[in-house]
A and B are shown apart, each in its own frame.
Chain A
Amino acid sequence: MNIVVLVKQVFDTEAKIVIGADGRIDDSNVTMVMNPYDENATEEALLLKERLGGEVIAVAAGTPKAQETLRTALAMGADRAVLVSDPALQSVSDDYAAAQALAKAVSELKPDIILTGRVAIDYGSKIAGRVAEILGIPQVNTVTRLEVNGDKAVAAREIDGGSEVIEVTLPAVFSAQKSLNNPRYPTVAGIMKAKKKELKTLTLADLGLDATMSGKMQIVGYSLPAGRKGGRVIPGEPGQAAAELAKLLRSEAKVI
């Protein structure tokens, strides 16, 4: 079983976002981590490998620094890793271009299963459907349970107001919801071994893609949301305060 897991390096969730002098997000002094949902995807890939055998290959697109995240995947237990890194790709801000590059890198690995997180918490990217579409294979998003039998997989996924169970023929792309599993920690031994595992870096040219490939969307401005100010603290005993709050919500804020 060839299992590919797509991982992305993102800002830590505790990171404070600062817009730099160039009008873009300032990424200096920010701790970078693996996208949390991609940790679930990696865990599931490793569990599948433990059950079914095969190889887990972690793939990322990003700056050279993104190899840290691939090393994390290797330390967790992935067998090898591929980083697609190209200056042309970095100047493009949309998922369209990233998906093209990832899909090309993935297709060369001939995977049976492709896993990734349901969303990247930085730019809100949803790569699963895009990659699946380019590869012409099914996708199952926000997966909370995954079972593989031969060339079929059965996945439970979260939908609004419930869940559904979907059977797909492999290969297919699955995006992990948080509740899919509990990601393992990389171990010290895993970190030591990760150094010796293969981590290949490919450019767009290596993938046979046009290095001038442009995205479809462009970012034209960054801003910070209007800051909120603390309002008023309602004093009094619990009963009194609650009554006052209810009154204010109805007559002043007009929201209940």
Chain B
Amino acid sequence: MAKGIWVFVEQSNGNIRKVSLELLSQGRKLADEKGEELAAVIMGQNISALAGEAAKYGADKVYVADDEKLASYSTGAYTSVFAKLIRENEPNLVLLGNTAVGKDLAPRVATRVGVDAAIDCVGIEADAANYVNLTRPIYAGKALIKVVSPEARPVMATVRPNTFPVAEPVSKEAAVVNVPVAVDPADLGAILKELISQATGRPELTEANIIVSGGRGMKGPEDFVILEELADCLGASVGASRAAVDAGWREHKYQVGQTGKTVSPVLYIACGISGAIQHLAGMGSSKVIVAINKDPEANIFQVADYGIVGDLFQVVPALTAECKKLQA
């Protein structure tokens, strides 16, 4: 008998990632609605301390797979352990963050346990007939589909960061289950040779609360400094439009849009971005959009909550100065 809702908890530098807290918070609500337990699955090395954290955000049970073989993420070892755990415990719903790890792991684990995984979901609703229904964007958010898994269990999904709010932590204990770690030799085909951290000190684009983004209007790579200054004052991440990436001003990993990343921050500040349909697809679900552009006819103003028609090279530094004043 399948039971329970699971959240795959990701950690970075010893803390639970924000998207995992979001999923625990939402998972708690769903578990209460279903009258089932919420379990967190934590994998890594020396991560036992995180079990208590997961409990505070609603987990009734925490599966801890703590082993040196899991010290850093690898598709093979994580799939081996996670798929075995799912097979043995048969949860109804398994949620992962739509992060680099989630996107790599979910399809592989799903295939191994004989189900499909819905990628990049932006909504989960309890559903009597199908357990849950999932909403996910297609065409990078130009349309949405609702999908269900009528029979296959667990229902697996990766969920876009910033989709659900993080609940206030509560004082709560969870049952900790230590998971024995055995990796199938067939899963050892890949060896991690090197891990390169490129810490910018700024949040990951897809997880950032605030994104300051630049487009063709930036004129050159060096001009992104003014966006970085604003971003650093706001604790924001810096994105770019395809025009800016195609021009070689920013790396592709910072591209927001249909052929880049899809983001849903609380605040998106578009600077010198005209608002091509493929860009709007990637950021249209942001809560508040600000557009700064010298062209009053730019498409971006049609989706922006606040717009300033003007020279971004004057407006952005002025905004940074205002931001500093507010923080002073």
Task: Pick the residue among B115, B137, B287 that contacts A216 (CB under 8 A).
Answer: B115
**A165 CA / B277 CA spacing, docked (Å):** 35
A225 to B210, CA, bound (A): 21
Which residues of B have CB within 8 Å of A224?
142-144
User: Are A230 and B302 CB-contacts (below 8 A) given A13-B258, A132-B108?
Assistant: yes
Chain B residue nearest to A137 (CB atoms) is B189
> Does A122 contact B139, Cβ atoms closer than 8 Å?
yes
Report yes or no: B75 in contact with A142, Cβ–Cβ below 8 A: no
In the assembled complex, which residues on chain A have CB atoms less than 8 Å from the CB atom of B171? none
Q: Which residues of A contact B326 (CB under 8 A)?
A: 246, 250, 256
A213 within 8 A of B: no
Within B175-210, which residues are at the interface with A (CB < 8 Å)? 186, 189-199, 204, 206, 210
Q: Among B112, B189, B204, B311, which residue has the most Cβ atoms of chain A within 10 A?
A: B189
Give the residues in chain A near B289, CB-CB below 8 Å: 228
Instruction: Judge if A130 is at the interface, Cβ distance under 8 Å.
Output: yes
Instruction: Kindly state the separation between the CA atoms of A174 and B68 in the bound complex, as whole angstroms.
Output: 26
Q: Are A221 and B306 in contact (CB under 8 A)?
A: no
A130 with B107, Cβ < 8 A, contacts A238-B314, A245-B319, A255-B210 known: yes
Q: Which of A14, A25, A133, A215 contacts B116 (CB 8 A)?
A: A215
Q: Do B143 and A17 touch (CB < 8 A)? A: yes
Residues from chain B with a CB closer than 8 A to the CB of A223 are 143-146
B278–A141 CB distance below 8 A: no
Per DSSP, chain A at the interface is mixed
The bracket for how many chain A residues form the interface is 35 or more
In the complex, A168→B243 CA distance in Å? 35
Contacts of B141 in A (CB 8 A): 225
Within 8 A of A (CB), among B277-307: 277-278, 284-285, 287-290, 296, 301-307
Is there contact, CB below 8 Å, between A163 and B198? Answer: yes
List A225-256 residues whose CB lies under 8 Å from chain B: 225, 228-234, 238-239, 241-243, 245-246, 248-250, 253, 255-256
Q: Are B323 and A256 in contact (CB under 8 A)?
A: yes
* A112 proximal to B (CB < 8 A): no
Given contacts A162-B196, A228-B303, contact A256 B234 (CB under 8 A): yes
- Apart from A128-B107, A138-B190, A230-B304, list 4 A-B contacts with CB within 8 A: A17-B139, A161-B204, A229-B302, A233-B301
Residues of chain B having any CB pair with chain A under 8 Å: 12, 72-73, 75-76, 79, 99-101, 103-105, 107-108, 110-112, 114-116, 118-120, 133, 136-152, 186, 189-199, 204, 206, 210, 234, 251-253, 255, 258-260, 266-267, 276-278, 284-285, 287-290, 296, 301-311, 314-315, 318-319, 321-323, 325-326
